[in-house]
Amino acid sequence: KAGVTQTPRYLIKTRGQQVTLSCSPISGHRSVSWYQQTPGQGLQFLFEYFSETQRNKGNFPGRFSGRQFSNSRSEMNVSTLELGDSALYLCASSLEFIWGNSGNTIYFGEGSWLTVV
Amino acid sequence: AQTVTQSQPEMSVQEAETVTLSCTYDTSENNYYLFWYKQPPSRQMILVIRQEAYKQQNATENRFSVNFQKAAKSFSLKISDSQLGDTAMYFCAFMKHDADKIIFGKGTRLHILP
């Protein structure tokens, strides 16, 4: 079956702009979560959605937001972009609750590379 | 606040050797999960192994095993008979039992040399 698909793969934005990233989970998966990866801060959890509801949220400012649609596809939005937002943004999907159950497998996409100039 | 520390930014070992990646964490929680994730050059993250804190038995998955020392808050990953395909960045991660967020270490870049 198709894996987790993230679009766009690469993009360049200017400071102050906003950006929307998209994630299509594996068919049948209801949980989608987002992460930011940078060389300095490593991998950081942004938020998780399950059945269109945000369930968990990491320590990021309100400029970072997301949503999930009824087909489980998810979007992440970053408004008023800052240079420090340049990062690889990873999306992950899971059949059920993303981290909880033993045996639950989490699948990551290949990420969206965002460069803010 | 919980923290996860991976003290080895980069390691290299010969193919077929055994390698151990270290991870320590800090928490006041009693129930939690620990994970090791592999991120190959393709950047996709792959769950390698999971450990529930209430389980005393160390988790194993084929060539991968952990040494979980709850009192010492240590969670090291051992890779036996290492293979070229094991070359990747490895992340240790912590999650409380109520799973409100997951905390990652900064990663260890592992090179398996032919």
* Cα(A25)–Cα(A71) distance, integer angstroms: 9
* pLDDT of res. B22: 98
Instruction: Tell me if residue B62 falls in helix, strand or coil.
Output: coil
Cα–Cα nearest to A57, from A108, A16, A110, A98: A98
At A7, which helix (H) or strand (E)?
A: strand A5-7
The neighbour count for residue A91, using CB atoms within 10 Å, is 27
Instruction: Tell me if residue A86 falls in helix, strand or coil.
Output: coil
* pLDDT of res. B89: 93
Of A56, A90, A108, the CB nearest to B101: A56
Would you say B103 and B75 are in contact if contact means Cβ atoms under 8 Å apart?
no
pLDDT tens digits for A45-70? Answer: 899 999 899 988 888 999 999 999 99
* Cα(B62)–Cα(A13) distance, integer angstroms: 44
**CB half-sphere exposure, B75, CA atoms < 13 A:** 33
pLDDT tens digits for B24-41? Answer: 999 998 889 899 988 887
pLDDT top residue among A104 and A13: A13
- CB B42 to CB A99 under 8 A? no
Cα–Cα nearest to B38, from B109, B103, B102: B109
User: Has residue B78 got a pLDDT over 60?
Assistant: yes
Range A25-34 average pLDDT: 92
Range B104-114 average pLDDT: 95
Nearest residue of chain A to residue B35 (CA atoms): A99
Would you say B8 and B108 are in contact if contact means Cβ atoms under 8 Å apart?
yes
- CB B95 to CB A97 under 8 A? no
- CB A99 to CB B33 under 8 A? yes
* pLDDT of res. B113: 97
Cα–Cα nearest to A34, from A53, A47, A23, A43: A47
- CB A56 to CB B103 under 8 A? no
User: Has residue A102 got a pLDDT over 50?
Assistant: no
User: Has residue A100 got a pLDDT over 90?
Assistant: no
* Cα(A109)–Cα(B45) distance, integer angstroms: 8
Q: Which residue carries 């991968």 as its tokens?
A: B64
Work out the pLDDT band at A98, boundaries 50, 70, 90: low
